[in-house]
């Protein structure tokens, strides 16, 4: 009888130990859940604030948000997912404005435009609001002994883009490149908008022989030097900003094909299409009809005369394809709708040769200038570019240059000195 009672005591003690161990095990699991929730919360807060910097352009905002989320994860990568595919299986917001991403095993759902009871009550425009929700799968350890399997942990953040100045000048090079943004001697550059330099060079990412004034911020990843002045004072050690036109595809080769020509006098009309040899304007009057002009490894050069073109998109493909505007009167403006809305000049991303040069001439000039893999040089003595974003691998500015920045809808512009705040 005594042995039986002793056995019962041991069983009770064992059961008590199991309960105690199980209790503290669950406490540990719940603590792990709390830590994961806090980490997710910090990640989505940062991501939604970053995404708001790209608004009101949806593609840019989602790129900024996912890049920021990914940057917080060592070795992470961003791929588009869907509610029916891991890790987003079973997650469905039913919202056409939501895009799902897989980022290092987490499902990240980004929604913009976004509205809910809070934003509607406060009168916020849905185009200025972005929501980021991240889901992570939590696996119980001790809890698994008691029948607990896994559960979805999530965190949500909503941010508002409060306006500000557009990104008007953006040097994309990330490497240790000297003079990624160069102000030539005697430059008097006036920028309505913000300036970004991605180069990591410690002293000459931005090199200023001349002067520049910007209405927004001047942010440099590396360092600044030179005898000129920049106002406001450049902020160094800043994070890079992604290419705002990265999602803008090159156009298809047009079906219509034309030989090039040289215009020295008289008048001529030029039609959209593919040009297979150089076009040069030394004099006379050239009228460019609206549409896509595809310069296939050939130059477009204007040294004199008058060139008029409204609603034109100039695309340069090939390592020997330059646009050189060194004289004459050019009245050029971009399309006002469609894929290339607001974009005037686009140098193909894959090209390792060819440049964009504006070194003289006058006239009315508007639209974005984009050359992600080649230099942009704008050094005309007196020149104004309106409604523009100048985005190039490296950029040289000179002369009495006025740059009037704008967020270009066609290219996914954004990323200037916009301010943003968390609202949920």
Look at residue 5 and tell me if it is in a domain.
Answer: no
Query: Sorting pLDDT into bands at 50, 70 and 90, what band is 152?
Result: confident
Same-domain status, 155 and 276: no
Residues with Cβ < 8 Å from 120, sequence gap 6 or more? Answer: none
Which residue has tokens 């403006």? 333
Same-domain status, 97 and 153: yes
Domain that holds residue 297: 167-420
* pLDDT at site 39: 81
CA dihedral (287, 292, 296, 297) in degrees, to 10, reads 70
pLDDT over 70, % of the chain: 84
* pLDDT at site 58: 86
Neighbours of 219 (CB within 10 A): 23
Same-domain status, 135 and 213: no
Strand order across the 285-288 sheet: 267-270, 285-288, 306-309, 329-332
Mean pLDDT confidence for 210-236: 96
Query: Sorting pLDDT into bands at 50, 70 and 90, what band is 418?
Result: low
Query: Sorting pLDDT into bands at 50, 70 and 90, what band is 95?
Result: confident
* pLDDT at site 32: 66
Helix H or strand E encompassing 246: none
For residue 100, pLDDT beyond 80: yes
- Identify which of 417, 376, 420 has the alpha carbon closest to the alpha carbon of residue 398: 376
User: Can you give the length of the chain in residues?
Assistant: 424
**DSSP letters of 328-370?**
SEEEE---SSSTTTTEEEEE-TT-SS--EEE-S-BS-BBSEEE
Contact predicate 356/336, CB 8 Å: no
Cis-peptide, bond into residue 169, ω within 30° of zero: no
pLDDT tens for residues 128-149?
A: 899 998 888 766 655 455 555 5
Same-domain status, 171 and 157: no
Residue 147 DSSP symbol: T
Q: Quote the CA–CA distance of 307 and 299 in Å, as a whole number.
A: 15
* pLDDT at site 74: 62
Look at residue 146 and tell me if it is in a domain.
Answer: yes
Q: Quote the CA–CA distance of 189 and 381 in Å, as a whole number.
A: 11
Cis-peptide, bond into residue 232, ω within 30° of zero: yes
- Identify which of 70, 104, 72, 75 has the alpha carbon closest to the alpha carbon of residue 87: 104
Look at residue 4 and tell me if it is in a domain.
Answer: no
Q: Quote the CA–CA distance of 357 and 396 in Å, as a whole number.
A: 9
Query: Sorting pLDDT into bands at 50, 70 and 90, what band is 88?
Result: confident
For residue 264, pLDDT beyond 90: yes
* pLDDT at site 64: 84
Beta-bridged to residue 102, according to DSSP, are 79, 107
Q: Quote the CA–CA distance of 182 and 195 in Å, as a whole number.
A: 12
Same-domain status, 118 and 137: yes
For residue 165, pLDDT beyond 80: no
Phi, psi torsion values for 300, nearest 5 degrees: -125, 115
Contact predicate 275/291, CB 8 Å: no
Same-domain status, 28 and 151: yes
**Pick from 137, 161, 185: which residue ends a domain?**
161
Look at residue 1 and tell me if it is in a domain.
Answer: no
Query: Sorting pLDDT into bands at 50, 70 and 90, what band is 266?
Result: very high
Mean pLDDT confidence for 349-368: 94
Q: Quote the CA–CA distance of 297 and 54 in Å, as a whole number.
A: 33
Same-domain status, 213 and 281: yes
Q: What is the mean pLDDT of the chain?
A: 85
> Could you tell me the two tokens for 403?
């740059």
Same-domain status, 242 and 223: yes
For residue 26, pLDDT beyond 70: no
* pLDDT at site 377: 98
Mean pLDDT confidence for 312-340: 95
* pLDDT at site 269: 98
Look at residue 2 and tell me if it is in a domain.
Answer: no
Look at residue 261 and tell me if it is in a domain.
Answer: yes
Look at residue 3 and tell me if it is in a domain.
Answer: no
Q: Quote the CA–CA distance of 347 and 315 in Å, as a whole number.
A: 6
What total of structural domains would you count in the chain? 2
Q: Quote the CA–CA distance of 148 and 141 in Å, as a whole number.
A: 9
Same-domain status, 143 and 210: no
Mean pLDDT confidence for 98-113: 88
Mean pLDDT confidence for 192-214: 96
Residues with Cβ < 8 Å from 371, sequence gap 6 or more? Answer: 345, 346, 347, 355, 356, 391, 392, 393
Same-domain status, 238 and 386: yes
CA dihedral (326, 328, 333, 334) in degrees, to 10, reads -40
> Could you tell me the two tokens for 187?
């430059």
Which range among 27-31, 122-126, 234-238 has the greatest average pLDDT? 234-238
Look at residue 141 and tell me if it is in a domain.
Answer: yes
Query: Sorting pLDDT into bands at 50, 70 and 90, what band is 17?
Result: very low
For residue 412, pLDDT beyond 70: no
Helix H or strand E encompassing 120: helix 117-122
For residue 411, pLDDT beyond 50: no
For residue 126, pLDDT beyond 60: yes
Lowest mean pLDDT among 2-16, 253-267, 339-353, 366-380: 2-16
Phi, psi torsion values for 119, nearest 5 degrees: -70, -35
Q: Is 311 left (phi over 0), alpha (psi -120 to 50) or beta?
A: left
Query: Sorting pLDDT into bands at 50, 70 and 90, what band is 295?
Result: very high
* pLDDT at site 27: 56
In angstroms, what CA-CA distances link 157 with 85, 222, 368, 394?
A: 23, 31, 32, 36
CA dihedral (413, 418, 422, 424) in degrees, to 10, reads -50
**Pick from 141, 161, 181: which residue ends a domain?**
161
**Pick from 161, 193, 218: which residue ends a domain?**
161
Q: Is the pTM of this model over 0.85?
A: no
* pLDDT at site 144: 52
Beta-bridged to residue 420, according to DSSP, are 161
**What separation, in Å, do the N-terminal and C-terminal C-alpha atoms of the chain show?**
66
Same-domain status, 102 and 28: yes
What b/e readout covers 199-209, taking b as 16+ CB neighbours within 10 angstroms? bbbeebbbbbe
* pLDDT at site 195: 95
Same-domain status, 175 and 107: no
């Amino acid at each position: 009888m005594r042995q039986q009672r002793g056995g019962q005591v041991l069983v009770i003690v064992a059961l008590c130990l199991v309960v105690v161990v199980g209790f503290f095990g669950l406490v540990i699991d719940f603590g792990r859940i709390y830590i994961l929730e806090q980490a997710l919360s910090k990640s989505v807060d940062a991501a939604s604030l970053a995404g708001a910097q790209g608004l009101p352009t949806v593609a840019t905002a989602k790129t900024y948000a996912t890049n920021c989320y990914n940057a917080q994860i060592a070795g992470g990568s961003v791929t588009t997912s869907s509610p029916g595919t891991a890790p987003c299986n079973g997650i469905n917001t039913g919202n056409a404005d939501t895009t799902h991403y897989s980022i290092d095993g987490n499902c990240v759902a980004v929604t913009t435009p976004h509205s809910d009871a809070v934003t509607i009550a406060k009168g916020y425009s849905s185009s200025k609001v972005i929501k980021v929700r991240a889901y992570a799968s939590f696996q119980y350890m001790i809890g698994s002994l008691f029948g607990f399997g896994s559960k979805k942990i999530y965190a949500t953040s909503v941010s508002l883009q409060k306006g500000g100045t557009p990104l008007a000048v953006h040097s994309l090079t990330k490497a240790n490149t000297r003079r990624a943004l160069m102000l030539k001697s005697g430059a008097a550059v006036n920028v309505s908008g913000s300036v970004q330099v991605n180069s990591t060079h410690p002293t000459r990412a931005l090199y200023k022989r001349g002067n520049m004034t910007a209405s927004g911020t001047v942010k440099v990843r590396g360092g600044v030097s030179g005898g000129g002045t920049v106002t406001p004072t450049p902020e160094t050690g800043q994070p890079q900003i992604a290419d705002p036109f990265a999602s803008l595809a090159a156009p298809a080769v047009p079906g219509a094909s034309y030989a090039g020509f040289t215009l020295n006098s008289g008048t001529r009309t030029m039609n959209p299409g593919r040009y297979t040899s150089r076009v040069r304007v030394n004099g006379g009057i050239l009228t460019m009809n609206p549409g896509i002009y595809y310069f296939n490894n050939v130059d477009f050069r204007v040294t004199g005369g008058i060139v008029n073109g409204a609603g034109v998109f100039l695309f340069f493909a090939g390592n020997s394809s330059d646009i050189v505007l060194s004289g004459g009167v050019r009245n050029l403006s971009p399309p006002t709708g469609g894929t290339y809305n607001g974009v005037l000049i686009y140098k193909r991303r894959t090209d390792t040769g060819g440049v964009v040069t504006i070194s003289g001439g006058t006239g009315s000039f508007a639209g974005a200038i984009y050359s992600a893999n080649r230099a942009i040089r704008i050094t005309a003595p007196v020149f104004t570019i309106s409604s523009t974003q100048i985005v190039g691998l490296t950029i040289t500015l000179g002369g009495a240059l006025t740059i009037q920045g704008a967020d270009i809808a066609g290219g996914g512009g954004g990323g200037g000195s916009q301010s943003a705040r968390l609202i949920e």
